[in-house]
Amino acid sequence: MARVLSLLRSQTLVTLAGVRRTVLCRMSLEARAREVFATAVEAVQPDVVVRRSVERKDDSLLIDGRSFVLRNNLHLVGFGKAVLGMAAEAERIVGDHLVNGVISVPHGIQETLRCHGKNQMLLKDKSRIKVMEGAKHNLPDGDAQNAAECIKQLASELTEQDLLLVLISGGGSALLPAPIPPISLQEKHDVTRRLAGSGATIQELNTVRRALSLLKGGGLARVAHPAQVVALILSDVIGDPLDLIASGPTVRTDVCSEEVISILQSYNLSDSLPASVNEVLGRVSPRWENSKDDSGRTGHVLNTVIGSNGIALKCAGRRARELGFRPVVLSLGVCGNVKLVSRLYGLLARFASSRDEPPPELAAEMLRLGPEVGVASWDLYRTMQVLDEGRKEGWGATCLLAGGEPTVELTGKGRGGRNQELALRVGLELRGMELPPRGPVFLSGGTDGQDGPTEAAGAVTDGGLWEEARAQGLDIDGHLNDNDSFTFFSNVSGGQRLLSPGLTGTNVMDVHMLLIPSIPIRIH
Ligand SMILES: Nc1ncnc2c1ncn2[C@@H]1O[C@H](COP(=O)(O)OP(=O)(O)OP(=O)(O)O)[C@@H](O)[C@H]1O
Ligand SMILES: O=C(O)[C@H](O)CO
């Protein structure tokens, strides 16, 4: 009897495995790419990361190995795309110990989260936290400036009995604008917009932002002194550098005017700066020099990273495996010009899809390009080795994952974002390769759900993009030259290739994914 049962069970398992394989085969590569992306985003939901890192034990909070006493002394501020959900969870954890709070979050986020049924990311009706929406299209505006003022006010009223919980996530720089007088918001915004448009990295951009702002570069921690400050940070910068995420409002950083001027010079902006900016940069004493407080140096400030791109890719890889792929993480630090990045993905797709040993020039070009876009040679060797083994042993499909934040040099006037422009360029690189289901699919998406100032997060492409656009009378080169990737993808095949999850409520940079179908072994 036991043998019969065990036989039946194994037959059922075989049948289930067969059904699963059939279901997976029917699910297109594109659908699976979208599913893996959704999992990456799900893994870094703000409420999840706060729950994971903040423990309440009676009247204490345990964070990063330290304990903080709660006695109705907790105040909360926050700024960033993921902060609403972080605040909702933090309020659930600390309960009545929360005295008051102010958060600065993206315009329309409450409505979007409500529409998507993400109620766990919304504050309760009688919340003690005031929500201020601003920075439409991720650009600092008057609303965000008002929110920054309220946050500054709250922080400035604290005493040494108080505990200030600071929730920080990507997009925080635009949501906490407090230009140093006499710089106006418009002037500061113009400088940063021109820098971003010239292809400056987030490191360069935020070094300049810190120098022109009252609250960035440790300014907020300084205002909150002598209160204890605990910052929970959801990282959206490669390598998770505390001083750069949201321009580091709780991380004491001395401003070096020479460094700022040299960045502005390298993008030919130093000759056209407003007089107010020159005046602030020309001031002799650095911000911290005459300050009596010692915040940030004496344990008054704890900064801790609670979520990152690495965590998102790890969970994405797990989902990819369930969906029938062998996951390989290429790098967490892809950066640099999207033109070069797209070339690298094109080469990787050719390398991975090649039935025979790929020509050595292919590997040589990848190894030359990799370091230029933040991918270490070692990571490329490791990835090529895995892909090679797959070719020789006839392994199944591969899901190549990477994270980071490339840049676009804006020369046109169109609408787009770095993910859509990258996907468009990779689509061109894949031109001539087999179409799915036998050819590769590429996805690029911003985990915040908003790519540049557009409603899309990114796009999905393959080797058929060029032909498809041509057949529909669309001029790819024209759109590319005008940085008009959003218009392009909105028009091609009725926008089907766009990735549009809506604002996701989180933000850990971008996810790139190359799905490579299995290559049958060649029988000699
Ligand atoms: N028309 C366009 N085409 C391509 N890229 C664009 C376009 N307009 C803006 N961008 C790019 O979009 C980026 C800004 O968008 P986005 O808000 O997604 O990124 P971010 O400022 O890095 O914010 P976060 O880190 O919060 O995602 C800049 O890198 C900018 O160069
Ligand atoms: O807000 C910012 O400065 C960017 O999102 C990087 O954190």
Q: Is 418 in the pocket of ligand 1 (CB under 6 A)?
A: yes
Q: Is 506 within 8 Å of 447 (Cβ atoms)?
A: yes
Q: Phi-psi category of 69—alpha, beta or left, where left has phi over 0 and alpha has psi -120 to 50?
A: beta
State if residue 424 touches ligand 1 by the CB under 6 angstroms criterion.
no
SS (H, E, C) 433-476: CCCCCCCCEEEEEECCCCCCCCCCCEEEEECCHHHHHHHCCCCH
Can you say whether residue 222 is alpha, beta or left, with left for phi > 0 and alpha for psi between -120 and 50 degrees?
A: alpha
| Residues contacting residue 523 through CB under 8 Å, at least 6 positions apart | none
R_g of the chain computed on alpha carbons: 25
pLDDT of residue 14: 43
How many CA atoms are closer than 13 Å to the CA of 195, on its beta-carbon side?
25
Distance CA 205, CA 413 (A): 21
Paired with 67 in beta bridges are 62
Q: What is the pLDDT of residue 4?
A: 46
Is residue 310 classed exposed, middle or buried when 0-12, 13-18 and 19+ CB atoms within 10 A define those classes?
A: middle
Which ligand has the minimum distance to the alpha carbon of residue 234? 2
Mean pLDDT per 10-residue interval, the chain, length 524 residues? 48 46 67 97 94 94 96 97 96 96 95 88 95 91 97 97 97 96 95 89 93 96 97 95 97 92 95 94 65 55 95 96 95 96 97 89 97 97 91 82 94 97 98 92 95 95 96 96 98 97 89 90 57
Q: Is 446 in the pocket of ligand 1 (CB under 6 A)?
A: yes
**Ligand 1 centroid to residue 138 C-alpha, Å:** 9
Separation of 450 CA from ligand 1 center, angstroms?
A: 9
Ligand 1 pocket mutation pick from 81, 408, 485 by most atoms within 8 angstroms of CB: 408
The CA 81 to ligand 2 mean position distance, Å, reads 10
Whole-angstrom CA distances from 163 to 227, 295, 413 are 6, 13, 46
